[in-house]
Structure 1
Amino acid sequence: MPWLAELALHLSRALHLAVLAIAPTWLSPEPLPPSALALSGALSAAALAAALGLSAWFAARMDTRLARNGAALLWLAIAAALAVPLYYRGPRAPLAQGAVLVAVPLWAALATLAAAAAEQWLGSAFKHRRMGAAIVVIGLGAVQLVGAAPLLGSPERMWWAALRRDGAHLRAVDELARPLRERRKLDELDAVAARCLKMHPAAAAPAAPATCACLSLRAEARLHSRNAVAALRDAEAARERCPEQKSARAALAEALAVAGRPERARAEAQAALEDGGDPSRLRYALALALQREGRLSEARAEAEGAIEAGAGRKARLLAGALAILAGDLDGARARLAPLAEQDPSDAEALYNLALVADKRGDYNGARQGYLAALKADPRNADARYNLALLTFRAGILEESRHHVRKFIDAFPDDPRGQKLAQTTGTPLGAAGGGSAPPAPSGARRPPQEPAASSGSR
């Protein structure tokens, strides 16, 4: 950003912070950049200069120590309003976190100037005119700050307040979702998206442009829950309403890939990349699309490119899965092991590491890995399936049949259950009835393909 634009943005934020110091709930805790940046910067500079000039004029006219002190405090408050936004920006936003630093000298200035005015204009009939005026002003300031304390004390509440004022506040949506992604509480993303959309019910209308970011977030949550149809519906709605919003295009590309439309996903991701979209998200979506098309070497290259561009868990998990499919078990482990170390409950990373051990013939490593994946996620059907086959191949028939029964009980609609029972010679009566299957054929089924998450990055 050119330095003049940076200066205009800074002056706009300084004035915004000065208003927040007076009334913390009047404006957004984190303002969006104004559309007319040059005009906003000029008006902000004029407003701040006018405040300085009026205070100097007032001190000169009163010609008292109290008035001069009040003017000096006001100058100090405006200096703080100019300095504090330099810190509370970028990763240290929202801006309202610095409101108290400006509010203290600002309300002190207003109280001192009010006392000076009372001394000059109320006359000697009011014995405690200076103290009374100062107390009234300080009381007003205390009411404002105490009332806003719950908001100012919580960045999360500030981001929600910013989102409430503007449903298109992309930064607010990202800040509210990012901690959930980092802690892998991806099931809670849908609740954040639902709350956002509830704040702006007009977004339910087909033509409404607001809350595209919230629709994209809900698409991400639905991808995590493997509801590809609903995810694609949300992503397409966000893309249609906000074609210029790059995050909406990335969400659509990923949803298209997961929903089984790889050619369109690839075209969307490539077009968005050419338009300067986020390469970490778009190259990941492109890798997914190429994987669905069977172009595995190209998919792996895109996944690695996404990681180099800053992509996180999803891209690393996909790169590890593609390395397994390419037979590069060392490369797969190099990508997957850090994920399991970072989060020992990452079921998909644990499953893929177990699959690496399985393909290497490491029985103990594979068994422990599959069990760890099931402990992290009891609904991991592939881990249970592979564990049954692994123990069957090792000749541990009772344990194998135990896992077969667990598989059929947990996943009664999975067609692999009947074949697994036949392969291992497991009677189905203990797993929900039915006659015993024929004797096992002794066929050795290969392990399932590696898991490539469609959850959050």
Structure 2
Amino acid sequence: MPWLAELALHLYRALHLLVLTVVPTWLSPEPMPPRALALAGALSAAALASALGLSAWFAARLETRLARNGAALLWLAIATALAAALYYRGPRAPLAQGVFLVAAPLWAALATLASAAAERWLGSSFKHRRMGAAIVVIGLGAVQVFGASSLLGSRERMWWAALRRDGAHLRAVDELTRPLLDQRKQGDLDGVAARCLKMHPASAAPAAPATCACLALRAEARLHARNAGAALRDAEAARERCPEQKGARAVLAEALAVAGRTERAEAEARAALEEGGDPSRLRYALALALERAGRVAEARAEAERAIEAGAGRKAQLLAGALAILTGDLDGATARLAPLAQQDPSDAEALYNLALVADKRGDYNGARQGYLAALKADPRNADARYNLALLTFRAGIVDESRHHARKFLEAFPEDPRGSQLARTTGTPEGAARDGGSPPSRAGGRRPAQDPAGSSGPR
């Protein structure tokens, strides 16, 4: 951003913070950059200069110590707001955290100036006019600041307040969802999306950016829930409503890939990349589309590019899975081992590392890895299936049949169950009138992130 635009944004944020300090609940805790940034910056500069000039004129007019002190405190408050606006930005946002820093000099300035004005204009009949004016102003400040302390004391509540005021606040959406993704609580994404849509209903304004952000978030939540059809519907709706919103396009490209519409997913991802979209997300979606189309080598190259662009766990897991598919077991280990070290309960990474050990003929490593994956996720059908086959090949028949029975009980609709029972000599006594949906056919395929799982193969 050019320095003039940076300056305009900084002045706008400083003025926003001063207003927040007076009325903390009237404005967004973290303002979106204004569309007419140059105009907003000019108006903000004029407002701040006017406040400085009026306070200086007021002090000169009254020629009292109180007036001079009030003007000095106001200058200090504005300087504090400028510094706080510079500090509470980027990763240290939201801006409203600076209210507590600016409140002391600003409300002290207002109280002092009110005392000076009361001394000059209320007349001698008001014996405690200076103290009374100061107490009223300080009391008002205390009510405003401390009344909003529950909001200002919680970054999460501040981001929710920002999203409530502006549903297109993608930074707020990111801040509210990132902790869930970091903690791998993808199931909670749907709750965030539902709350977002409750604030900004999809039926309220067909072209509202607010609705687009909420729909894109719900599409992402449904991807993690492996509901590709519903995810695609939401992503299509978000793309149709707000074609210029690049985040929605990335979710659409990923949803198309997961739904198996690989040609359109590839086209959407490449077009969005040409238009300057987020390369980390779009290259991941492109890699996913290429993998679904059977172009594994190209998919692996795109997954690596996504990681270089800053993509996280999903891209690393995909890169590791693709390395396994191309026979590069060392490359797969290099991508997957850091994920397992970072999160020992990462079931997909643990499963893929066990698969690497299995392919290398490392019985103990494979067995321990599959067991670790099952401990992290007891619903990991592939880990249970492979464990039954691994132990059967090793001649440990009792353990093999134990895992085969567990597989049949937990996944009665999985088409691999009958063959597994015949191979291990396990009676098919498990009920087949319910249970989990079938997983991928063939247990020796690597796992991907749930959002990248396309179901049976």
Contact 1:186–1:221 (CA under 8 A) maintained in structure 2: yes
Contact 2:30 2:95 in 1 (8 A): yes
* AA partner of residue 156 (structure 1): E
The Cα shift of 1:204 comes to 6.2
1:440 counterpart residue number: none
The Cα of 1:415 is off from its aligned counterpart by: 1.1
Q: Equivalents in 2 of 1:203, 1:210: separation in Å?
A: 11
2:444 maps to 448
For residue 397 of structure 1, what is the aligned residue in structure 2? 397
2:168 and 2:431 mapped to 1: Cα distance? Answer: 52
Q: CA deviation at 1:202?
A: 4.4
Q: Which residue type is aligned with residue 83 of structure 2?
A: A
Please give the TM-score of this superposition, normalised by the length of structure 1.
0.95
Q: Is the 8 A contact 1:258 1:454 kept in 2?
A: no
User: Offset of 1:210 from its aligned partner?
Assistant: 2.3
For 2:215, give the aligned amino acid: L
Cα deviation code 1:294-325 (max 9, x no counterpart): 11111110111111111110111011111111
In the superposition, the TM-score normalised over structure 2's length comes to: 0.95
CA change 1:207–1:56 in 2 (3 A) is closer
Gaps of 5+ in 2: 434-440, 453-457
User: What is the rounded CA distance, in whole Å, between the counterparts of 2:275 and 2:357 in structure 1?
Assistant: 42
Amino acid at match of 1:42: A
CA offset digits 1:418-449 (Å, max 9, x no partner): 111011110123x3499xxxxxxxxxx97420
Quick one: distance in 2 between partners of 1:295 and 1:183? 32
Gaps of 5+ in 1: 435-444
**Are residues 379 and 123 of structure 1, via their aligned partners in 2, closer, same or farther at CA, if it must alter by over 3 Å?**
same
Letter in 1 for 2:374: L
Deviations 1:192-241 (A, max 9, x none): 11111111124566544423122112111111111000111111111111
Change (3 A) 1:204 1:234: farther
Partner SS state of residue 327, structure 1: coil
8 Å CA contact retained: 2:202, 2:211:
no
Matched residue type, 1:312 = G
The corresponding residue for 1:437 is none
2:281 paired residue number? 281
The residue number in structure 1 matching 2:214 is: 214
Write out aligned runs for 1:174-253 (5 A).
Answer: 174-203=174-203, 206-253=206-253
Per-residue Cα deviation, 1:16-43 (whole angstroms, up to 9, x for no partner): 0110011111100000111111111111
Q: Is the 8 A contact 1:186 1:455 kept in 2?
A: no
Q: Which amino acid aligns with 1:451?
A: A
Question: Residues of 2 paired with 1:324 and 1:288: CA distance?
Answer: 15
Q: Tell me, what secondary structure is at the counterpart of 1:211? A: helix
- Given the superposition, is the C-alpha separation of residues 400 and 219 from structure 1 closer, same or farther in structure 2, using an over 3 Å criterion? same
Matched, 1:55 2:55: yes
Matched residue SS, 1:338: helix
Matches within 5 A, 1:78-89: 78-89=78-89
Cross-structure match for 2:133: 133
- Identity, in percent, stands at 83
- In the alignment, the residues of structure 1 paired with residue 203 and residue 209 of structure 2 have an alpha-carbon distance, to the nearest angstrom, of 7
Q: Give the structure 2 partner of residue 44 of structure 1.
A: 44
2:205/2:211 contact within 8 Å kept: no
- Asked if residue 383 in structure 1 is aligned to residue 368 in structure 2, the reply is no
For the residue of structure 2 that corresponds to 1:210, the secondary structure is helix
Compare 180-189 and 333-342 and name the one that shifted more.
180-189
Q: Which residue of 2 aligns with 1:12?
A: 12
Over residues 109-147 of structure 1, what are the superposed CA-to-partner deviations in whole Å (9 max), with x where a residue is unaligned? 000011111111122222111111100000000000111
Measure, in 1, the Cα distance between the counterparts of 2:65 and 2:392.
Answer: 92
Q: What is the distance in 2 between the residues matched to 1:173 and 1:432?
A: 43
Q: CA RMSD in A?
A: 1.5
Contact 1:203 1:209 in 2 (8 A): no
Q: Which range moves more in the overlay, 203-212 or 100-109? A: 203-212
Q: How many residue pairs align between the two structures?
A: 445
Alignment of 1:92-103 (within 5 A): 92-103=92-103
SS of equivalent to 1:201: coil
- 1:254-269 mapped onto 2 (5 Å cutoff): 254-269=254-269
